[in-house]
Structure 1
Amino acid sequence: MPNAPLPEPPVIPSQPGGPLRIDNSARGIALVLLASIFMCSGDIASKYLATSLPALQITWMRYGTFAAIMLATVCFTGGFHRMKTRRPGLQVVRALGVTVSSILFVAALRDLPMADATATSFVSPLFVTALSIPILGEVVGWRRWLATIVGLVGVLVVVRPGGDGFHGASLFVLGSSFFWALSLITTRMMSRTEIPVVTLAYSATIGFVLLSLAVPFSWQALDLKAVLVGAFVGGISTIGHIFLIQAFRYADASLLAPFAYSQLLWASIFGYLVFAAMPDIWTYVGAAIIAGSGLYTAHRERLRARRVATGSQARR
């Protein structure tokens, strides 16, 4: 899965059947930083595999491990009767969103430096803002729209369409971010009734089944090394994702967001160590603009949530 900042804030940890919220900001920040390192490591390994394998096959190996871990987690934390869901249609839509997003992101990694792909993926929260209007019926004020426009300017700085630094694979990252945002919207729609670990298990299982149906059409022979790296990708990415979800048990998304943007730092370091690739200054400039826009959007979301909560309490 792409490493867009804070991919699971719509999941509310205090929902019925889920773990209770425990305020511990330091632990939440530590978990976000660990999640960023783990997921960037998975993407670096995916990029390594992408030099010789199709994106569909890499994603299939990733989801095989993802599904195995999540189904085992469900089994050992209450049994498969927990897989009952009140929103089966939304579970399928979410699974399609994260699966397509993963395929497109891995496809982009074949040709893009890690830092460029990571910086461009920061646009996901802006897509969430846009999609929340037609799907959730939310009203977006002019401040959030302005932040969205500023974020898109940052994307243009990173991607530089028409310039010497432009690569068509950047469009794959934008497509990946769009489908990731769609999955976030559906997660938000399910957050009051679905347990996070069950939602992840559905996404992993449905994604793996769909990929298993499609992967024979682009199959290439695998050696033991590729299989082990593929299992590593799935394992470390899943653990990173679990760390990220756990972080929301201890701190608000608005506090964690700045630390989630550390993904660009890890992507730059790992990209240099493994592929000797260093992003240029414009990648950092664009990423800073996108991050600033995303942080402001998170701030406005926090204020809106506070107003809604205050209004609800006043009506009681």
Structure 2
Amino acid sequence: MTTQNTRLGIGLMILTTLIFAVQDGVSRHLSETYNVYMVVMIRYWFFAAFVMVIASRQGGGLRAAAATSQPFLQIFRGVLLVVEICVMVTAFVLLGLTESHAIFTAYPLLVAALSGPILGEKVGWRRWMAIGVGFIGVLIILQPSGGVFSPYAIVPLAAALMFALYGLLTRYAARKDSAATSFFWTGVAGSVTATLIGMWYWEPMSGDDWVWMIVLCFTGAAGHFTLIKCYEVAEASAVQPFAYLQLVFATAIGMTVFGETLRTNVAIGAGIIVAAGLFTLWRAQKRNQEPAVKRVP
């Protein structure tokens, strides 16, 4: 039964990464014509509605989902994610999907590096070595001789740092709040923030682009839905490595739809980052299993 659930979870994670890669492609397409803040704002309106529907169908309804003893933390998480999305979509326009995602894959390494000061978790020397190796991969991607290096390269790296901080704060919030509560505040606080920013950048959209906007909204909701189901049927440690497939799918979309090229240094650097990230995930999983192993006579 566990094996079947794990297989289903892996399938759902692969589907999730594909959906999010398509969402990134649509985001890039729209943001090349319209302001990023407006695109994110409309996307968040739909996302907030989706969150409300999910919360209302669970025990206790919206009141239970909104109940939290740490509202400022939850609001900050929601605001941080909106800013990260705006920064990352901007990176898609400036650098393209391929290079942006190659740099963004460093975020699990940032999570590992920051888990000590933020969560008080112990990071062993092996994981620190993997973090160092991973950032060598980042430097390989950014090397001037590869033609990628530019001031724009800092944009997806900043997005990765913000997303890592968002993930750590989500784990910190989970000590007191349920996943449903964190999900609710992510949608609501994010929607309010996106509106306060995006309403100043409203511009009319053509009929065809509204179709793409609807696709963007539905892919966002579908991706979050499949991700929720993924974690319901399988442990996060079993499916998390497959999240790196988003880099593969985004690169494929960037090359086939937007005519991007995969430079050699980007491919090598991304490979090093992914390998280092997978190693940190493996070490974290092994460390979590150690107490249980020690109790076995």
Query: TM-score when scaled to structure 1?
Result: 0.86
CA–CA separation in structure 2 for the residues paired with 1:156 and 1:234: 34
* Pairing partner for 2:111 from 111, 125, 128: 128
Name the structure 2 match of 1:41.
Answer: 22
What residue is the counterpart of 1:302 in the other structure? 285
Instruction: Kindly provide the amino acid, as one letter, of the partner of residue 71 in structure 1.
Output: M
Identify if the C-alpha distance between structure 1 residues 255 and 225 changes in structure 2 by more than 3 Å, giving closer, same or farther: same
2:241/2:281 contact within 8 Å kept: no
1:99-110 to structure 2, matched below 5 A, reads 99-110=82-93
Query: Which residue does 2:125 correspond to in 1?
Result: 142
Q: 1:227 aligns with which of 210, 214, 220?
A: 210
Pick the aligned partner of 1:50 from 11, 31, 41. 31
Q: 1:110 to 1:158 in 2, by over 3 A?
A: same
2:230 paired residue among 236, 240, 247: 247
Is 294-303 or 132-141 further displaced after alignment? 132-141
- Report if aligned partners of 2:37, 2:194 keep a CA contact under 8 Å in 1: yes
Q: Does 1:96 align with 2:79?
A: yes
Residue equivalent to 1:64 = 45
Please give the TM-score of this superposition, normalised by the length of structure 2. Answer: 0.91
In the alignment, residue 118 of structure 1 is paired with which amino acid?
H
Quick one: which amino acid aligns to residue 63 of structure 1? Y
- Answer whether contact 1:55 1:106 (CA < 8 A) is retained: yes
CA drift at 1:41: 0.5
- Counterpart CA distance in 1 for 2:219 and 2:173 is 26
Deviations along 1:72-119, whole A, 9 cap, x unmatched? 111123421222123322211211221111010011111222121111
Distance 2:228 2:57 in 1: 18
Whether the aligned pair in 2 keeps the contact of 1:70 and 1:197 (CA below 8 Å) is no
What are the residue-to-residue correspondences of 1:143-162 with 2, within 5 Å?
143-161=126-144
* Whole-angstrom distance in 2 between the partners of 1:161 and 1:176: 21
- The count of aligned residue pairs is 293
Q: Whose helix proportion is higher, 1 or 2?
A: 2
Q: 1:216 maps to which residue?
A: 199
Whether the 8 Å contact between 1:54 and 1:218 is mirrored in structure 2 is yes
The Cα of 1:217 is off from its aligned counterpart by: 3.0
RMSD: 2.1
1:248-299 Cα deviation digits (max 9, x unpaired)? 2333333323322111221122122321223122222111100010011001
Identity %: 30
Aligned partner of 2:11: which letter?
A
Aligned residue for 2:123, secondary structure, equals coil
Distance 1:283 1:255 in 2: 27
Counterpart for residue 82 of structure 1: 64
- 2:235 equivalent to 1:257: no
Conserved? CA contact 2:146–2:263, under 8 Å: no
Q: CA shift at 1:42, angstroms?
A: 0.4
Output the CA distance in 1 between the equivalents of 2:185 and 2:197: 18
SS at match of 2:233: coil
Corresponding letter in the other structure for 1:52: T
Find the counterpart in structure 2 of residue 16 from structure 1. Answer: none
Contact 2:105 2:247 in 1 (8 A): no
Moved more, 227-236 or 142-151: 227-236
- Return the match for 2:180 from 197, 215, 222: 197
Whole-Å separation in 1 of the counterparts to 2:283 and 2:47: 34
The answer to whether residue 26 in structure 2 is matched with residue 26 in structure 1 is no
CA distance in 2, matches of 1:45, 1:168: 24
In 2, the alpha carbon distance for the partners of 1:235 and 1:64 equals: 11
Q: Deviations over 1:175-218 (max 9, x none)?
A: 11111111111111122443323322211111111121122333
Q: Return structure 1 stretches of 4+ with deviation > 6 angstroms.
A: none
Equivalent position amino acid for 1:82 in 2: A
Residues 114-145 of structure 1 show CA distances to partners (whole Å, capped at 9, x for unaligned) of 12111111111111122212211222211111
State the Cα distance separating 1:308 from its structure 2 match: 4.6
Q: How many angstroms apart in 2 are the aligned matches of 1:309 and 1:90?
A: 32
